[in-house]
Amino acid sequence: MTDTQGNRSPIRIGRSQAATLAIAGVLGAGWVGGTVAGMARYDSTTGVSPFTAVNIEAAELASSEWDLPNLDHERVDYWVEQFTTEKREDFTNFLHRSGRYVPMISAKLEERGMPQDLVYLAMIESGFNASAYSRADASGLWQFIEETGRRYGLEINSAIDERNDPVKSTDAALDYLTYLHDRFDSWYLAAAAYNTGENRVARIMREETGSERGDEESYYQIWDQLPKETRDYVPLMIAAARISKEPEMYGFGDVEIEPALSYEEVVVDPATPLGAVAQAAGTTLDAIQDLNPHFKLERTRDDRRQPVRLPSGARTAFLVNWPTVRDQETVAVQKYRVRAGDSLLAIARRHGVTVDAIQEANSLRGTRILAGQTLEIPTRG
């Protein structure tokens, strides 16, 4: 995905790279509004909010129906052949991984009345890898660059990168795609603009058709004028969808699908170590990080309270154990000599603790400190 000026594409899939799918997780697993071998569906009626579990219920078997046109093109045929021969093992892995995020994405698409087949855009962007990072500095399930991510409400700083939050980034991506569809009146043109930039697609459409607005077939009307990597973008989506909609026909019917994303949330204080959260919840640090890929550090942000996702069923244990674990967190104190230009907030952030913790450890009533002053910094475990 690129910025609105059409200057870049984070995942380049051109003819010169046609034999390579394992570039920055460029291709993920397909799904068709149901399941492959029993995939679960995300229940959006409960929602994702602090202290509320994400409910998952069983879905019907996958449908072979389309809600975007199944357009023929030689590059679609090429990619179908690649996925079923040379890249079969890769595609098997993609189908396995599809179960984690597609139910959630599908529910959000349904809520907005958007085509279910747009799930394949996330698939070819990141391979359903919420931590995917491209050489062009795009990140997350939907491969946002920083500028576009921030424009659509994602927070990106030294402590957190919400491009890697699968739920929030999905909302942002669907907002962006809705805008693009409103501009071009075509989901395939919107997909092309998502990949290569809306202004570039608009210019090409005006030059080739006399109008920015078109329909799904307009993509192939301007196909040879698009950048090479974008020419394969929609063919990749269609090819992966064809296989995923009828996996048994292509020999993928017995692929085991990863369980759907399911979690509970609790809200914790600033600079809370994720290891302590895991201990209280009776799980592992890896499990907490897996559910919270948007945290860049092994602690929550330093400046405010924040929700943390726990494995489903772990919230009760967390609430029971947290008071004891929290009281055991401060295990040592280190000395810090204040330097010219220091602020209490900067010192707190540097050491991964809160301003309140430093004030309490040093009996400070305010935030005024002096160069040369020695502070005790509580070290959190």
Of 252, 240, 232, whose CA–CA distance to 29 is shortest? 240
Residues 6 or more apart from 80 whose CB is under 8 A from it? 239, 242, 243, 250
Q: What is the DSSP letter of 259?
A: P
Catalytic residue among 57, 65, 74, 125: 125
Q: How far apart are CA 375 and CA 350, in angstroms?
A: 13
Alpha-carbon distances, residue 202 vs 209, 227, 236 (angstroms): 10, 13, 22
* Residue 111 annotated as catalytic: no
Q: Which residue has the tokens 């026909």?
A: 249
Question: What is the number of other CB atoms lying within 10 angstroms of the CB of residue 238?
Answer: 24
Q: Which residues of 288-318 are buried (b: 16+ CB within 10 A; e: fewer)?
A: bebbbbbbeeebbbbeeebbbbbbbebbeeb
Q: Which residue has the tokens 């394969």?
A: 232
Residues 6 or more apart from 34 whose CB is under 8 A from it? 41, 59, 60, 61, 62, 63
Q: Which helix (H) or strand (E) holds 306?
A: strand 306-311
Residues 6 or more apart from 225 whose CB is under 8 A from it? 204, 207, 208
Residues annotated as part of the active site: 125
